Chains A and B, each alone.
Chain A
Amino acid sequence: MNPLPPPAAEHLSSPVTRAALRVAHRAMAAARALLDGEGFTELPLPVIGPVTDPGARGAKQVDVDYYGHRYKLMTSGILYKQAALLGFDRLYSIAANVRAEPPETAATNRHLVEFHQIDVEIAQGDRDTACGIVERLLTHVVQHVVETAADELAELGREVSVLEKWVRGPMDAITHREAVDRLRALGYQQNSGTEIEWAGERLLSDAASRPFFIVDYPKGSRGFYDRESATAPGSLRNFDLIAPGGFGELVSGSERESDYGRIIARMRETGENPAKYGWYLDVLRGGVPVSAGFGMGLQRLVRALTGLGAVWQVTAFPKLPGVAAP
């Protein structure tokens, strides 16, 4: 069993925690600078709402009583990002999200119940647009952190040459199918129709020396808002970015479904009752721009930057799945 976070006072006063949180601060500053420079507007997103992204992999939503209505803590900002494109064609947020992940995910070292995403959405963008921004964003963050948080990285024992190598040159992309084939060649029996499993992702990450994209996840593995390919039905126009060295997924993104009728059918394909998405469907009915976007996990990013073993180590007040914590 992996070590659990120590008591809050001990954790907060630890030099490791302090150094990691300073790296997080620099990473957020760098992300904002890059995105602002590319014409994005930072738009705070709601923390609670009547409905949220249904999520995947068994995570449960958390309810709150909102004046007698049962509201949800947001698992992601996707619904609001798409709606907000009516006002801004390029937007981002550093958004707080809550997912009551299955307890076994505490063992992955990269799951928290409460976490933040650098959440980005681009009107009229396609997957290439989004992936390009991901690459530039990660590159800029790494460069800025190496420059401004060199002391903290040294204190944490992180070799900066490793990080510099990550962002030297374009990042490769493989399809989900190719990822499955690689895993099977490694002796891991990955299901070809689902998400890359936690242990499989770890294998791919360990085997890599630089971040790489996985694209074209199959339908049935992701949410209704990931757009299905018009030319390859059953394949989604989405992507993940996997960090090397065992750090795993940093980014999930996709072109978005935006056609009202199409979204309704996709909601049914993911077992959803469209009625509960009333406000969102009303917005879609009037038309929203086609878009692509992604979420980059802030704490995962900082863990990868610092080289620390668990994502809770880079979090001031960590909540591990299945563990009650302040």
Chain B
Amino acid sequence: MDGTLDTARAEAWIRALAAAVAAHEAELTALDAAIGDGDHGSNLRRGFEAVLATLDDAPAASPGALLATTGSTLISRVGGASGPLYGSAFRAIGHALAVPDPDAGERPATGAPAVAAALAEGLAAVQRLGGAQPGDKTMVDAFAPAVEAFRAAAGDGVAAAARAAAAAAEQGATATVPMVARKGRASYLGPRSAGHRDPGAVSTALVFGALAAACRG
């Protein structure tokens, strides 16, 4: 069980993430108000409420399908920059996991190396769409180290790799504090954007924290 991301764990991931977003809505909004426009928390909450509704309506057949649907729902419901960025990330992760298995059709469960590759696809989708590099004070500053930590620990199974990724994402979010934003709305503040955690990097830490929590059981 520790070795794979099955459909139940994928669903647990998204439900844990929805709960984390709801619990941290005020914090995300406050961070966004400091250097953006103060709607990151409410936008993500609205998006994940819609995602929960899709999960309740129809059980997903595979982790890939579940995550791809999550991504599509976020794109359709969130708006702003976080909708397309998180939506594209989850769609890319889902599509990467849903590569048909020549023997068994779509894989019902996926091992840590495949999850690592899928997370890397998610990061690539974010960077392709948003154009951000590490150091720009965006979600990439949490996402990129998380992907790298997951890959490095993939040999220990999904649960251990997810724990490593969550810790790396947390550190990445903290590391955005002194950065001067070069992408997104915070970039308009110039040097005044320094001294605050980037709200997108903090919500990305929630994404990987939820993955670790879901894979623990």
- Tell me, yes or no, whether A binds B: no
B residues contacting A by CB (< 8 A) are none
